[in-house]
Structure 1
Amino acid sequence: MTWLIFIIGAMLAGFVQGLTGFAFALVAMSFWVWVLPPQLAAPLVVLASVWSHVISLRQERGQHTSSRQLVLPYIIAGLIGVPLGSYFLDLIQADTFKLLLGVFLILWCPIMLFNPQIKKIQQSGHYADASIGFLGGILGGLGGFCGSLPSAWLMLKQRPKQEQRYILRHFNFAIQLFTLVAYLAQGTLQTKLLPYALLLLIAVSVPAMLGAKLFYKISERQFKHSVLTLLFSSGCFLVFSSIVQAT
């Protein structure tokens, strides 16, 4: 059952990653927290995310280069936050991690769904962008969730779709690649990950390509609502299960 849940989570996450360019960690961890400890699941999420971004970035090489200056504050601040997040990973317990993930999903999904108009956020500058990048880096070090907060922030800022996609993909790739290096330096990547990693790369690749193809066939609004509903439901179940176990 553990391997089945692991594979299903990987395939669905790969599909979402291929379709949207982010949210791999949110989808995968919604399944994996039930069968894998965070110390094992987190590096696997980062590894698979890096692999997916390598495929997508090769396909988009040379596009949206005018957005390069916009992504730098996110990346620079995010790289500073990654070591802090990876440090927290060694301290957190499995039940606490599950509860935090569930609360994060519950708070994050409505923001992405309703997309409120906040003038102060829309008019904010590079310092605010860097702060979001720093928090995204911490989430990236904690488990590969670096794209969730910046994606909500960019939608709230009403950035054009092309700029959002460029910033998210390049920020996620930079942070997750650095997180992978940090895990390697800290000894988090152990030989026991190899069976999972090999199966993960196989399970993710085809769904990611299918998701990328489907992106042009359905509306972004329809898919966005479907994914957010799934993630919000997952968050509710995670919080509920954590409360039940604690009582």
Structure 2
Amino acid sequence: MTAQTILFLALGAAAGGFINGLAGTGTALFALGFYLLVLDPLTAVAIVATMSALTGLQGLWVVRQAIFANIPRLLRFLVPGVIGVPLGVMLLASIDARTLRLAISGMLIFYGVYFGFRAALPAFERRTPVWDGLIGFVGGVGGGAASVSGAIPAMWLSLRPWPKGEVRAVLQPYNFVLLGMTAGLLAWNGAFDAQALTALAVTVPAGLAVAQVGIFTFRRLSDTGFRRLLILLCLAMGIGILVQELL
């Protein structure tokens, strides 16, 4: 492995680890661009999924109390999401993943622009168990079909005026489980060859270390500041997906 390869892997791990520690989502958006410069697409996706799941363990520990206090809420998102992942993989044979990613990109950009620069954030307070389950399912399908599992849930959760720990107590374990499933499926299909294992030896320690910086920043954000961060992250994800698909 060349010094240039190690540099790009480390930069991707640092970018992805920071945003995972900060927001609990968005790892692929910030890391994948670096990885694709030095790895083939399958290996790059496998590395991102694995690194995101492993760095996400630290974020799970940070919000563990909020997770255990709101397990029924989490399961409303998580169980349908788990069901949606294999369905999304099956749909790959009959849909155009690029078109789906462009459609999701447009939604994210519109949402981020509309809400991200308003003085008052939206506040959708009433309980919506059916909608929560539907959002979780759609996120799972999007993850299986187009590797964008966190996009729709992030949009939905940023509408809720919950404390930041409660928002993250849904988003972090949701992404952890779905990305863990993705990494497992890729491992089953032989994605982790010698090159991938070497890349993991570089990316995982770097990602874990820099994620602590993101967690440090998260702890100092207000509840409103975290919600605004999620909305602006949706905008960044939308632009990132659009650029990836048009290049």
- Asked if Structure 1 and Structure 2 have the same fold, meaning a TM-score greater than 0.5 normalized by the shorter chain, the answer is yes
Q: How many residues align structurally?
A: 237
- Cα gap change, 1:79 to 1:106, in 2 (>3 Å): same
Quote the offset at 1:124 in angstroms. 6.9
Q: Are positions 1:186 and 2:192 aligned together?
A: no
1:111 partner amino acid: Y
Letter in 1 for 2:243: F
Q: Does 2:62 correspond to 1:56?
A: no
Q: Which residue of 2 aligns with 1:128?
A: 131
Aligned counterparts of 1:223 and 1:232: Cα–Cα separation in 2? 14
User: Which amino acid in structure 2 is aligned with residue 238 of structure 1?
Assistant: Q
Equivalent position of 1:82 in the other structure: 85
**SS of equivalent to 2:192:** coil
Match of 1:234 among 225, 240, 243: 240
Maintained 8 Å contact 2:60/2:169: no
Return the offset for 1:87: 4.9
Aligned residue number for residue 244 of structure 1: none
Q: Which residue of 1 aligns with 2:171?
A: 168
> Once structures 1 and 2 are overlaid, which stretch shifts more, 228-237 or 131-140?
228-237
Q: How is 1:14-163 mapped onto 2 (pairs within 5 angstroms)?
A: 14-33=17-36, 35-87=38-90, 101=101, 104-115=104-115, 125-142=128-145, 145-163=148-166
Tell me by how many angstroms 1:173 deviates: 1.6
Aligned in 2, Cα 1:70/1:229: closer, same or farther, shift over 3 Å? closer
For structure 1, which segment, 72-81 or 218-227, has the greater mean C-alpha deviation from structure 2 after superposition?
Answer: 218-227
Q: Contact 1:102–1:234 (CA<8 Å) still a contact in 2?
A: no
Structure 1: distance between partners of 2:94 and 2:191: 13
2:214 is equivalent to residue 208 of structure 1: no
* SS of equivalent to 1:215: helix
CA contact (8 A) 1:39 1:89 kept: no
User: Equivalent residue of 1:210, what SS?
Assistant: helix
2:20–2:55 CA contact under 8 A, matched in 1: yes
Match of 1:47, as an amino acid? T
Aligned 8 A contact 2:101 2:146 in 1: no
CA contact (8 A) 1:109 1:232 kept: yes
1:164 shift after superposition: 1.2
Counterpart of 1:12 (choices 15, 27, 35) is 15
Which region of structure 1 is more displaced relative to structure 2, 110-119 or 131-140? 110-119
Question: 1:245 aligns to what?
Answer: none
State the secondary structure of the residue aligned to 1:62.
Answer: helix
Structure 2: runs of 5+ lacking an equivalent: none
1:90-132 Cα offsets, whole Å, 9 max, x none, are 9999xx75x765664443144145339889x865732322222
Bigger drift between 79-88 and 19-28 goes to: 79-88
Q: Give unpaired runs (5+ residues) of structure 1.
A: 242-247
CA distance in 2, matches of 1:226, 1:41: 25
Cα offset, 1:146, TM superposition: 2.0
CA distance 1:199–1:190, change in 2 (3 Å): same
| Cα 1:228/1:137, change in 2 over 3 Å | closer
Report the residue type matching 2:140 in the other structure: G
Does the Cα contact within 8 Å between 1:102 and 1:238 map onto a contact in 2? no
